[in-house]
Chain A
Amino acid sequence: MNRSDLYSLTPLLILSSAAILNFFSISIKRNHKVIFAITVLSLIGDFIFLTSYSLYHQQHIDPLLVVDGFGIFNIGLILLTTLVVALMSYAYFEQREERKEEYYILLILAALGACIMVISKHFVSFFLGLEVLSVSLYSLIAYLRTRERSDEAGIKYLILAAFSSAFLLFGMSLIYATTGKMDFGGIGYYLTTTQDIPLIMMAGLGMLIVGAGFKLGVVPFHMWTPDVYEGAPTPVTAFIATVSKGGMIALLVRFFNAINGYQYESFTNLFTVLSIASMFVGNILALRQTNLKRILAYSSISHIGYLLVAFLSGGSMGAQATTFYLVAYFITTLGAFGIIATLSDQHRDAELIDDYRGLLWRRPLTAVAFSAMLLSLAGIPLTAGFIAKFYVITAGIGTQHWLLVFCLVVNSVIGLYYYIKIIAVMFDQKLQIKSAKELHPLVYVISSVTIAVLAVFLFWLGVSPEGMLSLIDDVI
């Protein structure tokens, strides 16, 4: 390891030192404000440091990591997402009685794991990044110990995530058994030298896809998603929905480009089935829900289905559409969960649709921002979600995936129904009086400004996406 390697890894080093700093700070004195300040400042500092890299930065840290434009872009995305999650966590955890400080350590470590994942080009770093992310998530999900359902969500996620990691590992070991290689490049090279893939290798890749599918929550591996989304604290739910899934998608894009997986019909067929099943199951099961977090969970299942359409298109167009979709989806999901987090009181989360009845008349600005997020999820013009969906469809048509594009369009219509239903509830005039313990107004200012900024980004990307598109074009 030389100096330029260290320079390329500095964002990860900053994250890990922030975690250690938080650790010491807690051992000296528990103070929510101090920990929060350290976390936010280190995330901002890390992002500023990241912008000092050139877009064409390319540093191979053999054999484990590669820091390139795509990786840097994804690290930036993860850092900003973690920052938003941390900002919305302050008000959420301040009103709860439990110990709040360790939460930020776990959050930083989870972000660190995701960052390792998006720059890994070797099975070892892939697995380690994934596990650092998952083990932090186990404790984050079960963080509110006294609340009922948090233990259930924690255990469910723990068992299923460990189970899927075992599948992932067995797949890796079978691939290693045939190729003798564990870096993506070496496996890609092996595949170019053989005519047809041996059976063991095929089984290994299949199990790898099962493991990755569990983390992404695609049908038929989606069972944990709604339960965990409902049981976890709302900021953690936002984190799972964005960073944990986005990191996996970025890794899949890198892996499939390295082994050139798009040329094998069996894989593209498999992903087509997964994508179509996710779109339909996610949207249809969302129709009958009355719990907002579960609706967003099923909606995230179908959104991963849409993402797979872009992913399947392959090539630079597919990668571009995937990345742009991820950005738009991150902004929208963070906004939606951020609003749920701000509306929650100390006893329970504002997760039932009835909590939103007449929201427009009680808190007009919040209701407008929430409507914007939901419309973006549905893919209505002027929002980032529309441009993202437009690019996905363009990528799908460009590579003649007609069936997928057709299913995507049908599902957008189904999805519109339940998004509009929530908006209609907010317009309902029947007023509800809700008494909640009011915190210092400054606490809410942080959350409100965060959501306002997200809403501005949502419209900005929806009206003039050129800047973001050219940035994505440069890094791919």
Chain B
Amino acid sequence: MQPQNGIPIDYYIWLAAALFTIGVLGVLYRRNAIIIFMCIELMLNAVNVLLVAFSTYLNDAAGQVFVFFIMAVAAAEVAVGLAILIMMYRNTKTTDINILNRLKW
């Protein structure tokens, strides 16, 4: 099985790893809860890129089916997450997670 458009399969791994790392750094450094959710989405989409690339490369549909499950679950996660975020906004009037430091040690 030839990689699509002649792009070597390694490139996909590097792309996915780069996207995933950007997501991880975003979660670690950004303080706004909405941006943190976006970064988590970025991490999940990095996984999707990798799965789709290898699904085509290995000529095996399982990877692409898994991508659909991941997308559905990510949507559910964000729906619940945004609901909790709205609840937090009502209580604190901000989406900055630095304000959440009442629970310590």
Q: Which residues of A contact B (CB under 8 A)?
A: 123-124, 127-128, 131, 134-135, 138-139, 142, 145, 148-149, 151-156, 158-159, 162-163, 165-166, 169-170, 172-174, 176-177, 180, 182, 200, 226-227, 230-231, 285, 289
Contacts and interface: CB of A to CB of B under 8 A. Distances in A.
Contacts of A138: 77, 80-81, 84
B15 to A, nearest CB: 13
A148 B103 CA distance: 10
Given A123-B66, A155-B88, A170-B50, A180 B100 contact: no
B54 A176 contact: yes
A154 B77 CA distance: 13
Interface in B10-46: 13, 16, 20, 23-24, 27, 33, 36-37, 40, 43-44, 46
Contacts of B84: 138-139, 142, 151, 154-155, 158
Interface in B38-64: 40, 43-44, 46-47, 50-51, 54, 58, 60, 62-63
14 contacts: A124-B62, A124-B66, A142-B84, A151-B84, A152-B88, A152-B103, A154-B84, A154-B88, A156-B103, A170-B16, A174-B50, A177-B54, A200-B13, A227-B104
Contacts of A170: 16, 20, 43, 46-47, 50
Interface of B is mostly: helix
Nearest to A169: B47
Contacts of A285: 105
A173 B91 contact: no
Contacts of A200: 13
Across the A-B interface, the 8 shortest Cβ-Cβ residue pairs? A166-B43, A227-B103, A151-B88, A152-B100, A169-B47, A173-B50, A180-B58, A131-B73
Interface in B57-97: 58, 60, 62-63, 65-66, 69-70, 73, 76-77, 80-81, 83-85, 87-88, 91-92, 97
B87 A176 contact: no
B91 A148 contact: yes
A162 B77 contact: yes
Nearest to A179: B58
Interface of B: 13, 16, 20, 23-24, 27, 33, 36-37, 40, 43-44, 46-47, 50-51, 54, 58, 60, 62-63, 65-66, 69-70, 73, 76-77, 80-81, 83-85, 87-88, 91-92, 97, 100, 102-105
Contacts of A155: 33, 84-85, 88, 97, 100
Given A148-B91, A154-B87, A128 B69 contact: yes
A227 to B, nearest CB: 4
A162 B40 contact: yes
Contacts of B43: 163, 166, 170
B97 A173 contact: no
A135 B76 CA distance: 8
Given A174-B50, A230-B103, 14 more contacts: A128-B69, A142-B87, A148-B91, A149-B103, A159-B40, A159-B97, A163-B24, A163-B43, A166-B44, A169-B47, A170-B46, A177-B54, A226-B105, A231-B103
